[in-house]
Structure 1
Amino acid sequence: MQQAITFLTSKDKTLKFILENFGNPTIQKRQEGFASMCHIILEQQVSIASAKACYVKLENHFGQILPKLIHSATNEELKNCGISRQKIIYIKDLASKVLNKEIDFSTFSSKSEEQIRAELITIKGVGNWSIEVYLMFCLQSPDIIPLGDIAIKNTIIELYNCHTHEEMQVLTNNWKPFRTFASYTIWHYYLKKRNKI
């Protein structure tokens, strides 16, 4: 972490200001695998609290969140856990791909980021944001910036007056090879400013 802080504070006065005034962000670590990917799918376009509530209901209902249990569950069971019709399709497709060995989370640690992206993008409803969150939280990839994330995007607009994806890309390229830590810093500022942590 210290290496990332030293690098980013020397390159970017805004990140330096955040770290000096709001403290260091918490680095999230989630277990690798199917259950975490389900959780990330549940987090798409809803609040963290709402997604967590659905995830806990799933856990309580099934005991463990396993591909075979999700795959064989009825839509009604999953709906009773607070999961939308669309997301039921997504997590069942994920379960099916794991059971068919099209996706093997246990091999990800030995694969390149490109290979992992190529596998995960085949899941219905999974796009860049979901993949980047998995790479950041589960695999601890050091150089990810999820520009599709609303909080990241809005905070960059607020702090840097960057409005287009291209402008954001140019700005965030300056943070390589520590874009993940920069992302955590941006999220940290976003939450602190809104008294969410």
Structure 2
Amino acid sequence: MAPDADDSDTEHDTSRRVEEPVPHAHLARDETLAPLVEAYGPLELDPEGDPFERLVVSLVNQQLSTASAAAIRERLFDRFTVTPDGLLAVDEAALREVGLSGQKVDYIRSAAEAAREGRLARDRFAVMDDAAVVDDLTDIHGVGTWTAEMFAMFVLGRADVFPVEDLAIRRAMESLCDTPSREAMVERADPWRPVRSYAALYLWHHYEDGDPNVPTA
């Protein structure tokens, strides 16, 4: 099992847009989200890219501000081949030189082993519901609930994930809904089913219009 390394605002690619209006029409009926839908227009999940790379990005992003995580990611991807075999071939000292902690090096190595075993293949998850996806991924050392939910959203394109462990989501909910607890936030988000992932995109936008460099854990 993984630590619940929960919060990061650095995973969120919220600039892409879609033609399909249904999620946005649904959310526009909510009094809290309607102004955000109007302000930002249709937003999309972007479930493209290599699953291992996306998982590495989430692991790097854990508990870091946007700026810190971006700097480490840039160095990591510039210096090394970010594949399971590529990173497993690099020694710990070299990985730490790009700014990774020893703990995160361990997490990335565990993810690389899992990927090499085929555990990150998209087709494995096709028969799983969202909860099963999170349960499966959190068996990988270093992958907590937040990281697994980011994978479900941005690798698998799951439409109804509500990442309440994300600090930016909680800050946005606090400012918009006056919801003081995670439980209250989950309850408030219930009407946003079955497209809570899209609601999260709007909440991230709302947060990012503030200070994107607030530490995330």
TM superposition shift of 1:109 = 5.2
Q: Which residue in 1 is equivalent to 2:62?
A: 44
Q: Output the aligned Cα RMSD.
A: 2.0
CA deviation map 1:65-114 (0-9, x unaligned): 11112122111110111111110110011112223x16142434523134
Q: Secondary structure at the match of 2:192?
A: coil
Q: Is it true that 1:156 corresponds to 2:173 in the alignment?
A: yes
Q: Secondary structure at the match of 1:73?
A: coil
What amino acid is aligned across from residue 68 of structure 2 in structure 1? S
Contiguous gaps of at least 5 residues in structure 1? none
Q: Which residue in 2 is equivalent to 1:89?
A: 106
TM-score when scaled to structure 2? Answer: 0.81
Aligned counterparts of 2:94 and 2:212: Cα–Cα separation in 1: 35
Percentage of identical aligned residues? 26
Q: Which residue in 2 is equivalent to 1:19?
A: 37
Q: Which residue in 1 is equivalent to 2:119?
A: 103
> Would the alpha carbon gap of residues 110 and 165 (structure 1) be closer, same or farther in structure 2, given more than 3 Å must change?
same
Say if 1:129 and 1:146, in contact at 8 Å, map to a contact too: yes
Aligned counterparts of 1:174 and 1:105: Cα–Cα separation in 2: 32
Ranked by relative contact order (alpha carbons within 8 Å, sequence separation 6 or more), the top structure is 2
Q: Which residue in 2 is equivalent to 1:137?
A: 154
* Greater Cα offset, 175-184 or 70-79: 70-79
Say if 2:45 and 2:198, in contact at 8 Å, map to a contact too: no
Aligned counterparts of 2:36 and 2:88: Cα–Cα separation in 1: 44
Q: Which has the larger radius of gyration?
A: 1
Say if 1:4 and 1:178, in contact at 8 Å, map to a contact too: yes
**Match 2:141 to one of 121, 124, 144:** 124
Contiguous gaps of at least 5 residues in structure 2? 1-19
Q: Which has the higher helix share?
A: 1
Q: Secondary structure at the match of 1:126?
A: coil
Q: Secondary structure at the match of 1:13?
A: coil
Q: Secondary structure at the match of 1:123?
A: coil
Aligned counterparts of 1:56 and 1:166: Cα–Cα separation in 2: 36
Q: Is it true that 1:4 corresponds to 2:23 in the alignment?
A: yes
* Greater Cα offset, 28-37 or 83-92: 28-37
TM superposition shift of 1:51 = 1.8
CA deviation map 1:35-88 (0-9, x unaligned): 1101110011112332222222122212x3111121221111101111111101
Q: Which residue in 2 is equivalent to 1:170?
A: 187
CA deviation map 1:13-56 (0-9, x unaligned): 11002222x32264352414111101110011112332222222
Aligned counterparts of 2:209 and 2:56: Cα–Cα separation in 1: 27
Alignment coverage as a number of residue pairs = 192
Q: Secondary structure at the match of 1:174?
A: helix
